[in-house]
Amino acid sequence: MRFHLTWLRTSGALLLSLALIVVMLVAPVQGTSQVASVSQSAGDDWPMYQHDAAHSGRTSATVSNAGPLYLQWAYAFGERVEVEAQPVVADGVIYQGVMNGEMHAIDADSGSAQWIARPGGPIPHTAAVKAGRVYFGSLDGSVYALSAADGSTLWQFRTGGPVVSAPAVVDGRVYIGSNDGKLYALDGVTGAELFHVETGGPVVSSPAVVAGRVYFGSEDMVARCVDAATGQPIWATLLNGAGMHNTHPVVSDDGGVVIFLTVKAGGSSYVHLEGYPDAPQQANPVETWNTYYRDYPAHRFMYYLDVDTGADLWDPAALRYVP
């Protein structure tokens, strides 16, 4: 099984996607194959998970300015890439971690490897690039900072458990969770611990950092907000669900709402849930589902919380969140 990073060019921006190509091969091969060449200028950088520390997931590329897509090149990692691990882009270079512990730096125009580093264990999630440094966590329990220029290891910080959270980097600080139940704030230059926040479960979701506050969830089903400078708690709200793995809080554009997702209680969709609505009878699906989650709150998986208090802003009567 070979994994390829495919680079698609548009008329106004560069869009990046991961493509899984299943082939029969004797041995995995690393490298690139040139498929097409289209000369266009690059769009926005995508330097961390979901684009920015608010997890907006937005770029300047739109339907109107993104024209026909052209396959520019394909790059074979020769190793598994976790589905949560987004490629990040900064200054014309793509950074992607893979599960054999390698971090790849790839030229965005040519698809050629700038460097490949292997500082530690498997890399299950997305890196962040800031001020010439590449930050990421590893299943070996460490957080790493590499030089964006040559891949050399600048520092390593050991936590007490595997790190499956993506870092957020703001104002020279790296915020990242660990399976040891802590959220860490690290100095981006030295890797020194500035503070940590203890929770009642693994911190496997990825933190959002906006306006001097850090928002994150943990597997004890608590959404938390702490001061980004000190780690002092601001609020904590208990949510329903079976976990927060592979989720991330999102802060609204106006900064008034933080949205949390949880893993549904009951697991897969084929597990019978009491009172589950009959789809053909959903004349008004918004009202139907609102009534369902009001009657069965343990099955709810999306929360709109006030950024200042953590209060639930969903109004069942109005069928919307009320800021």
Distance (Å, whole) CA 156 – CA 9: 35
Distance (Å, whole) CA 129 – CA 166: 11
pLDDT given for residue 261 in this prediction: 87
pLDDT given for residue 61 in this prediction: 75
pLDDT given for residue 22 in this prediction: 26
pLDDT given for residue 291 in this prediction: 72
Helix (H, G, I), strand (E, B) or coil at 299: helix
Neighbours of 201 (CB within 10 A): 15
Q: How many domains does the chain have?
A: 1
**Does some domain include residue 106?**
yes
pLDDT given for residue 110 in this prediction: 96
Residue 14 in tokens: 């560069």
Domain that holds residue 72: 1-128
Is residue 169 within 8 Å of 148, Cβ to Cβ?
no
Is residue 56 within 8 Å of 250, Cβ to Cβ?
yes
Is residue 87 within 8 Å of 104, Cβ to Cβ?
no
pLDDT given for residue 141 in this prediction: 98
Nearest to 3 by CA among 69, 87, 68, 72: 87
**Does some domain include residue 301?**
no
Distance (Å, whole) CA 286 – CA 288: 5
Residue 294 in tokens: 């009001």
- Region of 31 (left: φ > 0; alpha: ψ -120 to 50; beta: rest) is left
3-state helix, strand and coil shares in percent for the chain, rounded to the nearest 5? 5, 40, 55
Please give the C-alpha separations between residue 291 and each of 242, 260, 315, in angstroms, as whole numbers. Answer: 21, 20, 11
Output the CA torsion 149→99→199→262 (10° steps): 110
**Does some domain include residue 210?**
no
**Does some domain include residue 309?**
no
**Does some domain include residue 91?**
yes
pLDDT given for residue 255 in this prediction: 83
pLDDT given for residue 99 in this prediction: 97
Give Cβ neighbours of residue 64 (< 8 Å, ≥ 6 apart).
Answer: none
Neighbours of 32 (CB within 10 A): 18
Residue 178 in tokens: 């660990």
Output the CA torsion 243→299→271→179 (10° steps): 0
Helix (H, G, I), strand (E, B) or coil at 297: helix
| pLDDT tens for the chain, residues 1 to 323 | 344 565 544 433 334 444 332 222 223 334 544 433 323 334 579 999 999 999 999 887 777 777 777 899 999 999 999 999 999 999 999 999 999 999 999 999 999 999 999 999 999 999 999 999 999 999 999 999 999 999 999 999 999 999 999 999 999 999 999 999 999 999 999 999 999 999 999 999 999 999 999 999 999 999 999 999 999 999 999 998 888 887 899 998 888 999 998 887 665 443 445 665 665 455 666 677 677 767 776 677 788 899 999 998 876 655 555 55
pLDDT given for residue 240 in this prediction: 85
**Does some domain include residue 194?**
no
pLDDT given for residue 182 in this prediction: 99
**Does some domain include residue 40?**
yes
pLDDT given for residue 301 in this prediction: 79
**Does some domain include residue 36?**
yes
